[in-house]
């Protein structure tokens, strides 16, 4: 059990938890014997069987029904004893190592799992075989004719023996005929196979290697595969997710080894997302540097980004933390679904409703924050019971909409790419005439070409006049207040203040008003 969970206990650790572990092991043994007895009972005549039910029947002079009932009682008694000893362990060791406490909790859940497995596994299923049925039939037939055989004369007995000899000779003759038929069929099959193979012409060309001597085995490394991702990491700017990870660890206290890997996972997934986004946007720069696809090519960058998902899955699997791999796969799936709708609206120049847009953001952007939290909680020894779901959802919306709003204050590159950002969603749902103009400009824009300065100015003017920019500004401020409120609730639940998280939230609260456009 410890091997499956990835727990390694030294001699000192084993001595501390020995009493509780003994009760758990006895529970497992008795549970296995209880559910395996129907199958093992049938094997007692063929081989020695070690089972507590058989032991009770042989040494306690119990009937089978009494022994089964006693085995069930032993399971219940030892389960209760395990819980009692575990609580005594906690009380006697208030500073018990987190890994030992977690091991004890997992051990309790494992006892229930062993019950379920033993009850449902095909390994202990009892099925009547054909041979057993035939043996029972022969036994019943033999028993029904016993009296007749005992009362028959010696002459009858000798006649039966002669009949048996004749039957044996017939069976041997039939067996020999079957063997000869099988040999004939095998020989015929070999002849057919030989006839089906065409003869190779004598002057057929033969391939020869360029090197006369045996060439060494070639091993291709991952350098071309990892180069685009490594380049992206070199030009990356510190993201909110990395800072958030450090801030949340004040509560979650993730050990150094898994924390280091979680940081690597978040960074590599972020780099992968940026590579794919640059390709989708036909970007000409990233953080004032040349984007990866203009250095290594689009195809290689897409290959490298795809490999990232394999790479991080292998890292997560190596950590052996329950629930971590499921969390990774579920949140990656949510991200791809959200991204697919973002791309669909951009491709078709369709303005969704506000609720559709927010749902897309919850999946595309919110999944990144949910993934970070789920990975940390899976590896955490403390604070894993805190509910971070509301905070992750709010941060996803706040980060995405804030990023889009600030983008309009700069070069307006989202407009160059024809993106359906929140201010445009708001504007199109407020004013059908403005919607016709904005989406019309998008549809007429040449592929991969930026918008003209005049078109950008016209769209920004529409966003301002319809109140969409002001509504976006108000929404971002409201989301910031809700994030602060959620942080306060988490501090109360954790009974610990988090200045690092407060500082991060405060830095994101700075926002220019829309009149500066």
Compute the distance between CA of residue 394 and CA of residue 142 in angstroms, rounded to an integer: 80
Residue 355 vs residue 208, higher pLDDT: 355
Residue 390: what pLDDT?
Answer: 95
Compute the distance between CA of residue 25 and CA of residue 19 in angstroms, rounded to an integer: 10
**What is the number of other CB atoms lying within 10 angstroms of the CB of residue 427?**
25
Condensed to tens digits (0 to 9), the pLDDT of residues 256-268 reads 999 999 999 999 9
Domain ranges, ordered by start, for the chain: 2-124, 225-516
Exposed, middle or buried by CB within 10 Å (0-12, 13-18, 19+), for 43? exposed
Residue 481: what pLDDT?
Answer: 96
For residues 240-244, average pLDDT: 84
DSSP sequence for 245-301: HHHHHHHH---HHHHHHHHHHHHHHHHHHHHHHHHHHT-S-BTTB--THHHH-HHHH
Q: At the topology level of CATH, where does 225-516 sit?
A: Farnesyl Diphosphate Synthase (1.10.600)
Condensed to tens digits (0 to 9), the pLDDT of residues 278-323 reads 998 888 888 788 999 999 999 999 999 999 999 999 999 998 888 9
User: Token pair for residue 462?
Assistant: 């529409």
Condensed to tens digits (0 to 9), the pLDDT of residues 157-173 reads 444 444 455 555 555 55
Return the beta strands (E) in 37-178 as ranges. Answer: none
Tell me which of 58-62, 100-104, 373-377 is least confident: 100-104
Compute the distance between CA of residue 416 and CA of residue 450 in angstroms, rounded to an integer: 4
Residue 492: what pLDDT?
Answer: 94
Tell me which of 12-26, 116-130, 358-372 is least confident: 116-130
Residue 365: what pLDDT?
Answer: 93
H or E element, residue 327: helix 324-348
Which distant-in-sequence residues (6+ apart) come within 8 Å of 146 by Cβ? none
Residue 219: what pLDDT?
Answer: 85
Compute the distance between CA of residue 380 and CA of residue 249 in angstroms, rounded to an integer: 9
Contact 379, 254 (CB under 8 A): yes
* Topology match between the domains 2-124 and 225-516: yes
Residue 199: what pLDDT?
Answer: 56
Q: What is the pTM of this model?
A: 0.59
Q: At the topology level of CATH, where does 2-124 sit?
A: Farnesyl Diphosphate Synthase (1.10.600)
Residue 189 vs residue 224, higher pLDDT: 224
Residue 190: what pLDDT?
Answer: 52
**CA proximity to 34, closest of 122, 129, 114:** 114
For residues 20-33, average pLDDT: 89
**What is the number of other CB atoms lying within 10 angstroms of the CB of residue 186?**
10
Compute the distance between CA of residue 108 and CA of residue 113 in angstroms, rounded to an integer: 9
């Amino acid at each position: 059990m410890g091997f499956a969970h990835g727990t390694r206990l030294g001699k000192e650790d084993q001595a501390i938890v020995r009493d509780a572990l003994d009760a758990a092991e006895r529970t497992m043994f008795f549970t296995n014997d209880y559910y395996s007895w129907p199958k093992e009972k049938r094997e007692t005549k063929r081989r020695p069987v070690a089972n507590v039910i058989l032991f009770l029947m042989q040494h306690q002079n119990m009937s089978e029904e009494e022994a089964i009932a006693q085995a069930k009682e032993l399971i219940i008694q030892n389960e209760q004893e395990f819980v009692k000893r575990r609580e005594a362990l906690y009380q006697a060791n208030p500073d018990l190592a987190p890994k030992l406490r977690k091991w004890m909790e997992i051990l309790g859940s494992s006892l229930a799992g062993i019950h379920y497995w033993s009850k449902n596994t095909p390994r202990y299923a009892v099925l009547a075989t054909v041979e057993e049925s035939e043996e029972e039939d022969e036994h019943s037939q033999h028993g029904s004719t016993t009296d007749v055989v005992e009362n028959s004369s010696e002459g009858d007995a000798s006649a039966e023996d002669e009949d048996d000899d004749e039957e044996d000779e017939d069976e041997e003759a039939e067996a020999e005929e079957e063997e000869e038929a099988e040999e004939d069929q095998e020989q015929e099959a070999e002849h057919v196979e030989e006839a089906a193979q065409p003869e190779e012409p004598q002057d057929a060309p033969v391939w020869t290697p360029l090197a006369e001597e045996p060439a060494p085995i070639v091993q291709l490394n991952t350098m071309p595969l990892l180069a685009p991702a490594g380049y992206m990491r070199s030009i990356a700017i510190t993201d909110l997710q990395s800072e958030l990870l450090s801030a949340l660890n004040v509560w979650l206290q993730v050990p150094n080894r898994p924390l280091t890997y979680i940081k690597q996972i978040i960074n590599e997934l972020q780099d992968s997302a940026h590579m794919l986004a640059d390709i989708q946007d036909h970007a000409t720069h990233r953080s004032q540097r040349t984007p990866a696809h203009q250095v290594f090519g689009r195809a290689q960058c897409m290959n490298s980004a795809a490999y990232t998902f394999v790479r991080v899955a292998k890292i997560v699997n190596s950590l052996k933390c329950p629930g971590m791999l499921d969390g990774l796969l579920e949140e990656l799936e949510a991200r791809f679904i959200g991204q697919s709708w973002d791309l669909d609206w951009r491709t078709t120049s369709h303005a969704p409703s506000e609720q559709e847009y927010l749902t897309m953001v919850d999946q595309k952007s919110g999944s990144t924050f949910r993934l970070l939290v789920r990975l940390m909680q899976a590896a955490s020894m403390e604070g894993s019971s805190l509910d971070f779901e509301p905070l992750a959802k709010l941060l996803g919306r706040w980060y995405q909409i804030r990023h889009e709003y600030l983008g309009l204050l700069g070069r307006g590159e989202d407009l160059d790419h024809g993106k359906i950002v929140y201010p445009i969603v708001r504007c199109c749902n407020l004013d059908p005439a403005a919607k016709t103009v904005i989406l019309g400009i998008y549809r007429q824009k040449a592929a991969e070409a930026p918008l003209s300065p005049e078109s950008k100015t016209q769209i920004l003017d529409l966003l301002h006049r319809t109140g969409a920019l002001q509504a976006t500004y108000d929404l971002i401020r409201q989301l910031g207040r809700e994030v602060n409120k959620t942080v306060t609730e988490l501090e109360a639940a954790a009974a610990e203040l988090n200045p690092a998280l407060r500082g991060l939230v405060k830095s994101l609260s700075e926002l220019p008003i829309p009149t500066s456009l």
